[in-house]
Structure 1
Amino acid sequence: FERTDNLRLRLAPWDIGEPNLKNGNCVVLKIGRNGPAWYIDDCMKRKPIVCRLTNEEPMSMVPQTVRCPDGKEDWILGETHCYHLVSNISMFSSGFKADHDCFKVSIKVF
């Protein structure tokens, strides 16, 4: 993930029960009693933001050129790629098995 001002992003852990794609497909940082944590939320929902005044021209919106495959509505659309997030703990894997599992998912797309 990257900030809109291109400054380095400090990583935080996922919040308890996250990532949960039933809540949406945008990643949001929440500051709670235990510190910052990431959670998934509806992209169209209003969220608090921190703004700073500047004399610079605002960044222009870049039209989206990437499209996720048909039938993959649960995938997350990124700037240059589509991402499949596994939220079922029984399907979690790591290392070479994770690479293999990702390959199997992507090969079914094309």
Structure 2
Amino acid sequence: MTFATALREAAFRPRELFFDAGSREGTRALAREIFLMDAADYAAAFKGSAITRAKLWMLKRNACVVLGNVGTDENLAVLEAMLVHDHEIVREHAAWSMARLRSSEAR
């Protein structure tokens, strides 16, 4: 017995930004894309979404954590760019992620 039906309401469809986020590489790509966003990109990508309650810098902090957990050494450059972010907490999380990636490289 199944209760699932095909999604009919367009408002509940996943945004294109999240289509590939189910895989590790998709998750890393989403984090890198968030790093590249400015305020206008953020507003356009999440218009009408509850996620806009979070500020862009908060998503960038979370993206740092994501890369610290599932990133590779290829992500060090984008994390390094976050070391000069306006918000201290983003800088701290970028440094944490970089240290974590570097320590896993040594293993």
TM-score by length of 1: 0.24
* Higher RCO, 1 vs 2 (CA within 8 Å, ≥6 residues apart): 2
- Which structure is higher in strand share? 1
- Which structure is higher in helix share? 2
